[in-house]
Amino acid sequence: MYQYDEYDQRIVDDRVTLYRDQTRRFLAGELSEEEFRPLRLQNGLYIQRHAPMLRIAIPYGTLSSAQLRALGDIAQRWDEGWGHFSTRQNLQLNAPRLEDTPDILAALAQVQMHAIQTSGNCVRNVTSDHFAGIAPDEILDPRPWCEILRQWSTFHPEFSALPRKFKIAVTASEADRAAVQVHDIGLRALRGPSGEIGFEVWAGGGLGRTPVIGTRIRSWLPAPDLLLYVEAILRVYNADGRRDNPYKARIKILLREMGADAFTQAVEQEFSRLEGGPGQLTEAEMQRVVRQFAPPPYAHADEHSLVADAQAIADAVQSQPGFERWLARNVHEHRQAGYAAVTVSLKRAGKPPGDATSDEMRLVADLAQAHGFGEIRVTHHQNLVLPDVRRASLPALYAALRAAGLATPNIGLLTDMIACPGGDYCALANARSIPVAEAIRARFEDLDDLFDIGELELNISGCINSCGHHHIAQIGILGVDKNGEEWYQITLGGTQGPEAAIGKVIGPSFSAGEVPDAVETVVRTYVAQRTSCEERFNETLARIGQAPFREALYAETH
């Protein structure tokens, strides 16, 4: 993975010094709350319901063991001993003291980490595929391009006060595990006829109040032009994006109001002025970054070792209870023979989705070293991934994770829910997400039942800002406020990936107490109506329409 050189290190070190002085000036009354706000936000610090919240950047979701261990230590020393992995592959601490945040940033800088631009109206952390570099279906590793974008966007002077936040995602596989079509800019890496790298460019996607699937504005952008094209898009947006209404300030609204053709033309015109300029990536720079993501020294697998791996796994299926289910759900194919990727489920009884304690972070960091090359990924589904596990070590890894309560075999199943922190923590939320997620999880606790239902995506957002990505889940739940009370709206038919689609509201919303019954009704209707276990929720919905779901829901409860 990418290692800082002295320039990268000086950037984060200087930032700590600056932020320490900004915080001092604020606490001394030399900076008003209003003036301090954008400064602290661009360092990831929100003022929340009960305490500040610090969002730490995990660029494209890749961490080293040393970094994850440091995050665990930071959460213990300056917070309450736990953190929340977010849908943008970051880590949020929910109770640091403002006075301590400069020290936290200094501790992060020691392990080549920061909280730069994790909030505020600027280019945010670039997200990517959590299986980058290891997925069998990938065209190339997208992370070098994310890193190139990270450096370019860090303290970009022209784009430091945009109309609104700006999110870029990069994928390099057909499956698009980075949801690029619902980002301000989505990039899909491709290879041209001679193996050259390029990108398909999407713009103007986003969730939130006005969910929009992005528009493909370029089908082929040569890799050396990547930064120039992104610069052109941001320049058009910074100059002409709306600033009169924060709800209409995202680039998706500009694209819609200008029209896709006029927007694309404006971007192309700006780009044509930049082409061939100094921002065009050199072969040397691309190679410098690409080389740092070179595959680790994998052990070569031969016929004998593969047979031995298979035997060890077959033995474990017999001897270790629960291993087979975990193997089916939490273990993923790897491009390297003899290896697998393992998802550490952060969706378990009694814990909010995505939460991990300091001890758990340190344990996962250790396991990534014992069973891999000391690397961990954070998924936008709020789980962790150990990317390079020898297949022969799977039984031992399972035993260690199971002992720690981190082996719930539910990846891709209904209880692998995405949920934002909701009204328990977030000042924006209309409703709580965590208790609702827990009630649904408890309803579907029976593993036989959960496996019979099969793959199903359910996401929960506590408000229309949609951090829980409810719009693109097959079953989406949105917290809404009605006369000071918490209600939950259900949407069906959202889709992630290359055929991204926004779910449709099924009908009147439900009280918190009614939600588990409503979800169960939807799920049972699907199971009863599907033609086989192979038919996925959205296929059934497309075939039979919303009516049977609506009848089942509202005939019973209203």
Q: Which of 97, 273, 524, 543 binds other proteins (CB under 8 A)?
A: 273
For other proteins, which is the closer residue by CB, 3 or 194? Answer: 3
Integer angstrom CA distances of residue 469 from 158, 419, 495, 501: 30, 8, 10, 12
- The tokens describing 428, both together, are 């924006």
**Span 188-227, contacts to other proteins by CB under 8 A:** 227
Least Å distance between CB 173 and other proteins?
27
Q: From the list 29, 157, 195, 513, which residue makes contact with other proteins (rule: CB under 8 A)?
A: 157
Q: How far is the CB of 148 from other proteins (least distance, A)?
A: 9
**Binding pattern for the stretch 112-151 against other proteins, x by CB under 8 A and - elsewhere:** ---------x-----------------------------x
Kindly write down the DSSP assignment for every residue of 131-142, as one continuous string.
TTTT-TTBSS--
Among residues 93, 81, 90, which one has the least CA distance to residue 127?
A: 90
Cβ(419)–Cβ(401) below 8 Å: no
Query: How is residue 409 written in tokens?
Result: 């075999």
Give the β-pairing of 215-222 and 91-93: unpaired
What are the φ/ψ torsions at residue 513 (nearest 5 degrees)? -65, -30
Distance of closest approach, residue 23 Cβ to other proteins, in angstroms? 12
Q: State which residue, 18 or 396, has the beta carbon closest to other proteins.
A: 18
* Closest separation in Å from C-beta 524 to other proteins: 50
| Size of the chain, expressed as the number of residues it contains | 558
Asked if 495 contacts 213 with a C-beta cutoff of 8 angstroms, the reply is no
Task: Say how far apart CA 351 and CA 476 lie, in whole Å.
Answer: 20
In the complex, least distance from residue 40 CB atom to other proteins, rounded to whole angstroms: 11
Rule CB under 8 A: is residue 297 a binding residue for other proteins? no
| CA proximity to 386, closest of 115, 10, 64 | 64
The site map against other proteins for 441-460 (x = CB under 8 A) is: --------------------
3-state helix/strand/coil string of 193-260 = CCCCEEEEEEECCECCCCCECCEEEEEEEEHHHHHHHHHHHHHHHHHHCCCCCHHHCCHHHHHHHHCH
Task: By CB under 8 A, tell whether 67 contacts other proteins.
Answer: no
Smallest gap from residue 397 Cβ to other proteins (A): 28
Of 7 and 245, nearer to other proteins (C-beta) is 7
- With tokens 């898009």, the residue in question is 233
Q: Does 282 bind other proteins (CB under 8 A)?
A: yes
Of positions 55, 165, 177, 235, contacts other proteins by CB under 8 A: 235
Using CB under 8 A as the binding rule, whether residue 285 contacts other proteins is answered as: yes
By CB under 8 A, is residue 296 in contact with other proteins?
A: no
Contacts of 80 (CB under 8 A, 6+ apart): 94, 95
Residue 511: beta bridge partners?
Answer: 487
Q: Which one of residues 95, 139, 155, 435 is an interface residue with other proteins (CB under 8 A)?
A: 155
514 to 533: interface string for other proteins, x by CB under 8 A: --------------------
Contact pattern from residue 24 through residue 53 relative to other proteins, giving x for each residue in contact according to CB under 8 A and a dash for the rest: -----------x--xx--------------
Residue 154 touches other proteins, criterion: CB under 8 A: yes
Q: Is 20 in the site for other proteins (CB under 8 A)?
A: no
Give 35 or 499: the residue with its C-beta nearer to other proteins: 35
Tokens 């009863």, residue? Answer: 528
Q: Would you count residue 278 as binding other proteins (CB under 8 A)?
A: yes
CA-CA distance, 558 to 542, in Å (whole number)?
25
Q: By C-alpha distance, which of 294, 388, 397, 407 is closest to 338?
A: 388
Stretch that binds other proteins, among 77-85, 231-239, 371-379, 441-449 (CB under 8 A): 231-239
Cα gap 398→385, rounded to integer Å: 13
Per-residue contact string for residues 321-360; x = within reach of other proteins by CB under 8 A: ----------------------------------------
**Shorter beta-carbon distance to other proteins: residue 157 or 513:** 157
Which 3 state secondary structure label does DSSP give 305?
A: helix
Figure out which of the listed residues 49, 77, 216, 243 binds other proteins, where binding follows CB under 8 A: 243
Q: To the nearest 10°, the Cα dihedral for 21, 24, 25, 31?
A: 110
Q: If binding is defined by CB under 8 A, does position 302 make contact with other proteins?
A: no
Task: Give the residues lining the site for other proteins (CB under 8 A).
Answer: 3, 5-7, 10-11, 14, 18, 22, 35, 38-39, 121, 151-152, 154-162, 227, 235, 238-239, 243, 273, 277-279, 282, 284-285, 288, 291-292
